[in-house]
Structure 1
Amino acid sequence: MEVGVIVVVAVVVLLAFVILFRSVALIPQAEAAVIERLGRYTKTVSGQLTLLVPFVDRIRARVDLREQVVSFPPQPVITEDNLTLSIDTVVYFQVTVPQSAVYEINDYIIGVEQLATTTLRNVVGGMTLEETLTSRDSINAQLRGVLDEATGRWGLRVARVELKSIMPPPSIQESMEKQMKADREKRAMILTAEGQRESSIKTAEGNKQSQILAAEGAKQAAILAAEADRQSRILRAQGDRAAQYLNAQGEAKSIEKVFAAIKASRPTPELLAYQYLQKLPEMAAGEGNSVWVVPSDFGSALQGFARSFANQGDDGVFRYEPPQDTATTTSGDDSEVDDWFDLAPDPKVAQAVAEAEAVARTPVAPEMESRPAKPGIGAASDVPAVGGGSDSSDSAAPTA
């Protein structure tokens, strides 16, 4: 009797535990539970403790509400140029309406995979291999648009679609590798040729600049040498002119002093005849004088000369007497030639030399060959005049 009571109590406790277990359901956050009552949809709960009617209510499915990432295996796709590609696709989607994901489609993951495959073949089928390899963003956008529109009634939202890899056939891969290798070699050869061209240009530019600088230096040196030679000749000519003037002035002074002394001594014709006879041997001593003739009427000629220029005294001797109002000595006017003997340096000459030296020290710019020559350099008419007093002194050349 006691054993039967224990069994009944145990059965009741077990039934109560089962009823309690079936009447309480804990749904975690980010997960939704679709609840049916007697086989019909009742409600969708998420993130809470839910009470169920035992043996009447049941959880049809638990749906993950987080964004899911599904990678589909490679799918063979034929391009427009009849090449078969293996493309891996990755789809990012999220369940927004759990009851639609449960009742509208049997397996929404398989549905998304098949829809992505067919859409991918449709999109890539209208592209060539090169367009497919370079238009991933366009393909991803088209796939996402089609999948999001088609899976909307399934309660899904497609966030992104990415092409994980595009694998062409091995023969195409080999051809592409050869093409890439040829392109790299071509670029390397182009870069090498470009470097050699730049190096040649820089070398030629340096040689050109060096030659320009050398030519400019030679030009400046020639200008300075010509200017120095010109100044030297001008100064030498001025010195020779002053020396000749001094010689002529000295001779004139000497002759003037001699004549003044002669006039002051009042010579007689006998003294002149004596001086004349003393000069005859010197006159005959010339190399070209082989025959010398003394005129016979020399005495009468000398007497006529004395009568013309002298006065006869009480003793009958002719003597030269200078006029009383005539000065015995004369002095030349040296005011016009005072600057001939000025030893101070000419400021115009110094300025011209300084300007030439400044131009010679000026560095030549790279564009010197395209610029015109500086005014005042290299033209004979632009060289500054030197020896400012030479023209006026030349016009006042002395006459003996």
Structure 2
Amino acid sequence: MDGVGILVLIVLLVLFAVAVMAKTIRIVPQARAGIVERFGKYKATLPAGLNVVVPFVDKVRYMIDLREQVVSFPPQPVITEDNLVVSIDTVIYFQVTDPISATYEIANYIQAVEQLTMTTLRNIVGGMDLEETLTSRDAINSRLRGVLDEATGKWGIRVNRVELKGIDPPPSIKDSMEKQMRADREKRAVILTAEGQRQAAILTAEGSKQSAILNAEGARESQILRAQADRESQILRAQGEGQAIQTVFQAIHDGRPDQSLLAYQYLQMMPKIAEGDANKVWIVPSEIGKALEGLGSTMNSMRGIPDDVDGPAKRVDMGSTVPDVATIEADNRRALADTHSAVEEAIAAAQESERGTRSPAAGDVPPTTDGGAGSTPPQ
């Protein structure tokens, strides 16, 4: 054999050795399990990592994924108890716990889970009406998971969770549901509006009530304070008038006026009489002295006013200048009554004396305020 033949033989031997090693050493990824068959019969399950098998005798037939898997199934028509067709799509969360059973107990466990899910879902929803189906997702999920977990246990599969992705009723039912939902919302809106108006009316009425009460209390307090102020003002005014009357009365007793004082007072009052708006013309008698003399003779007989006085009389003791309010009011009333009686008696006596003793003098012209022709203005 020449050198070329030897080289080819060496190469073939190397290739055979590589092929044998490839068939002997098998690497299984993490969370996977390899099912090994020997001459078509189950031999062993390879764990994750490096494994050695008999080449050309043992064969890794299946590689099973041990992780939790999620499978979404397309929508399936389901008839409810009230004969309405709804479309329901589901999502299944499952995990292979026994690779041997998942390989040899069922041909295709994903398809088996899908069909089992659809049949179980039809059984569960068939006993519910549409409204119960739409509002009982948790109950449907729990019942469906229990049935699937029990049925898939012998397949080496554990169903962890089942979820209903959507429940779609027919378009006509959707339209009716939307109308009903709209009506319910409008009803709630009307109720809430009425409740708001009711609360607003109640609050407004309570506010008006409180305002009226406060206004009434304020008016009452104002009237009370005004009445108290009027009472105190009247009391102070009465006290002032009483003191003024006492002062004037005391001054009259102290001064002891005579007829000359009365004549002087008459002269002082004449300009004030002429100041009236209706007094356009004032006539002054030519014999003013005789008029004053006649006025003095008229007042001669007035009680309590002498013709001549010797001098100031002894001062009358008036008592305390700040008496009690009740005492002041009583004294004021008595003083006013006495003054009115004295004035009335003096006027009556003067009139009586004038009628009996005095006759009008010839040529005397009484003063007048009638604004006639030929009158002269006051001096």
Partner of 1:100: 101
How far residue 224 of structure 1 moved from its aligned partner, in angstroms, is: 2.8
Partner of 1:143: 144
Q: How does 1:15-164 map to 2 (within 5 A)?
A: 15-164=16-165
Contact 2:254 2:313 in 1 (8 A): no
- Mapped partners of 2:63, 2:300: distance in 1: 159
Partner of 1:293: none
Deviations 1:193-223 (A, max 9, x none): 4444455455555555554454444333333
Identify the range of structure 1 (202-211 vs 84-93) with the bigger mean alpha-carbon deviation: 202-211
Deviations 1:68-105 (A, max 9, x none): 10011112222222222111010011112111211222
Give, as a single letter, the amino acid of the residue that structure 1 aligns with 2:322: D
* 1:334 aligned onto 2:318: yes
- Mapped partners of 1:49, 1:279: distance in 2: 159
- Mapped partners of 1:63, 1:208: distance in 2: 83
Give the match's secondary structure for 1:181. Answer: helix
Partner of 1:232: 233
Partner of 1:169: 170
Identify the range of structure 1 (40-49 vs 242-251) with the bigger mean alpha-carbon deviation: 242-251
Deviations 1:136-186 (A, max 9, x none): 122212222222222222221212110001011111111111112222323
The percentage of counterpart residues that share the same residue type is 56
Give the match's secondary structure for 2:51. Answer: strand
Contact 2:239 2:329 in 1 (8 A): no
- Mapped partners of 2:222, 2:205: distance in 1: 25
- Mapped partners of 2:154, 2:96: distance in 1: 11
Sort the Cα spacing of 1:99 and 1:251 in 2 relative to 1 into closer, same or farther, 3 A.
Answer: same
TM-score (norm 2): 0.65
How far residue 12 of structure 1 moved from its aligned partner, in angstroms, is: 5.5
* 1:282 aligned onto 2:298: yes
How far residue 54 of structure 1 moved from its aligned partner, in angstroms, is: 2.0
Give the match's secondary structure for 1:282. Answer: helix
Which structure 2 segments of 5+ residues have no match? 259-293, 303-311, 339-379
Which structure 1 segments of 5+ residues have no match? 259-277, 287-327, 341-388
How far residue 394 of structure 1 moved from its aligned partner, in angstroms, is: 4.5
* 1:179 aligned onto 2:180: yes
Sort the Cα spacing of 1:42 and 1:280 in 2 relative to 1 into closer, same or farther, 3 A.
Answer: closer
Partner of 1:391: 326
Give, as a single letter, the amino acid of the residue that structure 2 aligns with 1:32: A
- How many residues are aligned here? 290
- Mapped partners of 2:77, 2:299: distance in 1: 137
Sort the Cα spacing of 1:35 and 1:284 in 2 relative to 1 into closer, same or farther, 3 A.
Answer: same
- Mapped partners of 1:152, 1:72: distance in 2: 20
Give the match's secondary structure for 1:85. Answer: strand
Sort the Cα spacing of 1:108 and 1:280 in 2 relative to 1 into closer, same or farther, 3 A.
Answer: closer
Deviations 1:209-244 (A, max 9, x none): 554454444333333322222222111222223333
Give the match's secondary structure for 1:338. Answer: coil
- Mapped partners of 2:7, 2:236: distance in 1: 153
Deviations 1:330-379 (A, max 9, x none): 665433x3215xxxxxxxxxxxxxxxxxxxxxxxxxxxxxxxxxxxxxxx
Give, as a single letter, the amino acid of the residue that structure 1 aligns with 2:321: D
How far residue 16 of structure 1 moved from its aligned partner, in angstroms, is: 4.2
Sort the Cα spacing of 1:11 and 1:395 in 2 relative to 1 into closer, same or farther, 3 A.
Answer: same
